[in-house]
C-alpha cells in the first residue's frame, strides 16, 4: 500500500456528505451538458434516454472503483498510480497516456463549446483565444477555488433550470418526440451515444480524491458518489427532455448550440444571452481546470521518464510545471484548428474510457481486506468502458487507437533502449 506524508495525509476531515456531493456535482455539471445532446441524438435518435442511463451506470461503476483505489493509494496521479501499483508499469503508463490524450481533446471540446455559444461566426479564433488566455492564467499560478466552483455550479444550474422550464412548460413542447418506439439505431448507435453522453459525466472521480478531507470516508464517499450521480442524471434528463420535446431529434442532432436553440424554438429568444453566459462560464471553468490537470499528469510522467524530462521543469517564480502547461496549450490549439466539437467529444470519450478500463482492472486486484467493491462493480465498469469505447463513431475509434498505440510504441522503444544499457 502506498502512503502519503503530504498535505492530503495531514488535512483535517471537515467535509460532510453534502460538501462531497457539491464537489462532485460541480465537477460533473459543466460544459458537456451544453454540447453533448446533439451528437447523442444524432447517434441514438429516440433511444437517447436509454443511452443516458447506460452512461450513468458505467460512470457509477468507474467512480466507485476509483474511490476504493484512492483510499488505498492516497497520492496524486489517479489511475496512473493505481495501474502501476496493481497491474504493472505498462498499464499505469497506458492510463496516464490515455488521460492525457482524452483530456487534451476535452480541452478542445470545451473551447469550441464556449465559442459556439459566445460567437459561432468566430468559433475557431475565439476558441484559440480562450485556450491561449487560460494557458497564460495557469502559467502565472492563478487557481480556481472551491468557493468559485460552487458559485459556478449555482449559476449553471440556474441556466439549466431556465432551459428546462421554458422548454417543458411552453406550447412548443411535443411529448410525442419522447417516444422510443421509432427507428432502432442499432447497438452501435445506442452504445456510441452512451459513449458520447459519458463525456458529460466527466468529473465524478473528483469525489474519489477526497479521502483525507471528509468525515468517515468509507461511508461518506460512496454515498456522495451515488447522490451526486443521481442528482446530475436527473438534471440531464430534465434538460435533455426539454431539448428533445421542443426541437425533435432531427433538429437537435443538427444543432451547434442545442440549449440556445431550445430556448429560441420555445419562444424565449430573450434567454439566449443567459444560456450563452452559462455555457461560457461552464466551458471556461472546465477548460481552465482541464489544462491544469493535464499539465500535471504530463509533468508527473515526464518526471518518471515516460515523457521528455524537460516537461517536468517547475517555474522558479510561479511554482507550476510551465513547460508542460505550454505544451498542453499548444496541442489543444492544434486540435481546435482541425476538429469540431463532435469529433473532439468522441476522441475525448475514447481516451477517458480507456483510462477507466485500467481503473476497473486495477480495482479487481484489490484484496478482500482492502475494502474491495462488490465484484459486479468493476466487472460491469470494465466491460462497459471497453464496449462504449469501441462503439463510438468510427473516426473517433480509429484516431483513438492510433493515439494510444503511438504512446505504447514510445513506451516499448524506451524500454528497449533502457534494457540495452
Q: What is the pLDDT of residues 342-360, one digit of tens each?
A: 888 899 999 999 999 999 9
Residue 212 has pLDDT above 60, yes or no: no
What is the model's pLDDT at position 188?
86
Q: What sign has the CA pseudo-torsion 150, 151, 152, 158? A: positive
Residue 303 has pLDDT above 90, yes or no: no
C-alpha cell at 128: 484559440
Residue 365 has pLDDT above 90, yes or no: yes
Sorted by where each starts, the structural domains of the chain and their CATH numbers stand as 13-420 (1.20.1740.10)
Instruction: Calculate the average pLDDT of the chain.
Output: 84
Residue 316 has pLDDT above 90, yes or no: no
What is the model's pLDDT at position 302?
85
Residue 368 has pLDDT above 80, yes or no: yes
| Cβ neighbours, 10 Å, residue 33 | 29
Residues β-bridged to residue 214: 15
What is the model's pLDDT at position 118?
85
Contact 404, 358 (CB under 8 A): no
Across residues 319-336, what is the average pLDDT?
Answer: 87
Residue 225 has pLDDT above 90, yes or no: no
Residue 242 has pLDDT above 50, yes or no: yes
Residue 318 has pLDDT above 70, yes or no: no
Question: How far does Cα 195 stand from its chain's mean position?
Answer: 11
pLDDT digits (tens, 9 = 90+) for 96-148: 999 899 989 989 988 998 888 888 888 899 999 999 988 887 777 654 445 56
What is the model's pLDDT at position 149?
63
What is the model's pLDDT at position 6?
39
- Binned at pLDDT 50, 70 and 90, residue 208 comes out as low
pLDDT digits (tens, 9 = 90+) for 243-289: 999 998 889 998 888 999 999 999 999 999 999 888 888 888 778 87
CA distance 26 to 284: 14
At residue 315, φ and ψ (nearest 5 deg) are -65, 130
What is the model's pLDDT at position 2?
40
% pLDDT > 70, the chain:
90
Residue 73 has pLDDT above 90, yes or no: no
pLDDT digits (tens, 9 = 90+) for 174-191: 887 777 766 788 888 899
What is the model's pLDDT at position 297?
83
What lies within 8 Å, CB to CB, of 356 at 6+ separation is: 58, 62, 65, 66, 79, 381, 385
Residue 8 has pLDDT above 50, yes or no: no
- Binned at pLDDT 50, 70 and 90, residue 210 comes out as low
At residue 249, φ and ψ (nearest 5 deg) are -65, -35
Amino acid at each position: 500500500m502506498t502512503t502519503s506524508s503530504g498535505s492530503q495525509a495531514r488535512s483535517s476531515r471537515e467535509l460532510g456528505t453534502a460538501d462531497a456531493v457539491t464537489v462532485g456535482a460541480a465537477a460533473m455539471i459543466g460544459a458537456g451538458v451544453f454540447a453533448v445532446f446533439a451528437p447523442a441524438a444524432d447517434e441514438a435518435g429516440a433511444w437517447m434516454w436509454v443511452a443516458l442511463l447506460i452512461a450513468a451506470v458505467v460512470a457509477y461503476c468507474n467512480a466507485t472503483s476509483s474511490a476504493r483505489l484512492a483510499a488505498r493509494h492516497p497520492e496524486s496521479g489517479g489511475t496512473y498510480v493505481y495501474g502501476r501499483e496493481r497491474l504493472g508499469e505498462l498499464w499505469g503508463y497506458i492510463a496516464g497516456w490515455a488521460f492525457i490524450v482524452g483530456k487534451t481533446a476535452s480541452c478542445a471540446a470545451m473551447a469550441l463549446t464556449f465559442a459556439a455559444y459566445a460567437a459561432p461566426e468566430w468559433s475557431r479564433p475565439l476558441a484559440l483565444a480562450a485556450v491561449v488566455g487560460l494557458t497564460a492564467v495557469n502559467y502565472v499560478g492563478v487557481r480556481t477555488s472551491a468557493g468559485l466552483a460552487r458559485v459556478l455550479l449555482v449559476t449553471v444550474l440556474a441556466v439549466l433550470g431556465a432551459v428546462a422550464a421554458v422548454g417543458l412548460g411552453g406550447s412548443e413542447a411535443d411529448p410525442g418526440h419522447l417516444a422510443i418506439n421509432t427507428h432502432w439505431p442499432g447497438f452501435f448507435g445506442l452504445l456510441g451515444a452512451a459513449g458520447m453522453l459519458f463525456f458529460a459525466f466527466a468529473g465524478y472521480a473528483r469525489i474519489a480524491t477526497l479521502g483525507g478531507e471528509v468525515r468517515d470516508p468509507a461511508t461518506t464517499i460512496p454515498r456522495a458518489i451515488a447522490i451526486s450521480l443521481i442528482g446530475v442524471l436527473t438534471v440531464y434528463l430534465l434538460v435533455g427532455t426539454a431539448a428533445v420535446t421542443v426541437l425533435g431529434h432531427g433538429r437537435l442532432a443538427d444543432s451547434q448550440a442545442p440549449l440556445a436553440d431550445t430556448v429560441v424554438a420555445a419562444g424565449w429568444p430573450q434567454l439566449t444571452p443567459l444560456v450563452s453566459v452559462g455555457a461560457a462560464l461552464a466551458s471556461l471553468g472546465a477548460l481552465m481546470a482541464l489544462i491544469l490537470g493535464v499539465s500535471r499528469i504530463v509533468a508527473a510522467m515526464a518526471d518518471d521518464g515516460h515523457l521528455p524530462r524537460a516537461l517536468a521543469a517547475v517555474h522558479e517564480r510561479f511554482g507550476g510545471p510551465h513547460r508542460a502547461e505550454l505544451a498542453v496549450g499548444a496541442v489543444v490549439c492544434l486540435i481546435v484548428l482541425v476538429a469540431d466539437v463532435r469529433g473532439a467529444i468522441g476522441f475525448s470519450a475514447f481516451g477517458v474510457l480507456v483510462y477507466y478500463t485500467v481503473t476497473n482492472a486495477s480495482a479487481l486486484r484489490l484484496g478482500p481486506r482492502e475494502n474491495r467493491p462488490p465484484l459486479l462493480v468493476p466487472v460491469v465498469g470494465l466491460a462497459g468502458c471497453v464496449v462504449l469505447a469501441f462503439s463510438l463513431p468510427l473516426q473517433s475509434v480509429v484516431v483513438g487507437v492510433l493515439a494510444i498505440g503511438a504512446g505504447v510504441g514510445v513506451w516499448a522503444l524506451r524500454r528497449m533502449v533502457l534494457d540495452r544499457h
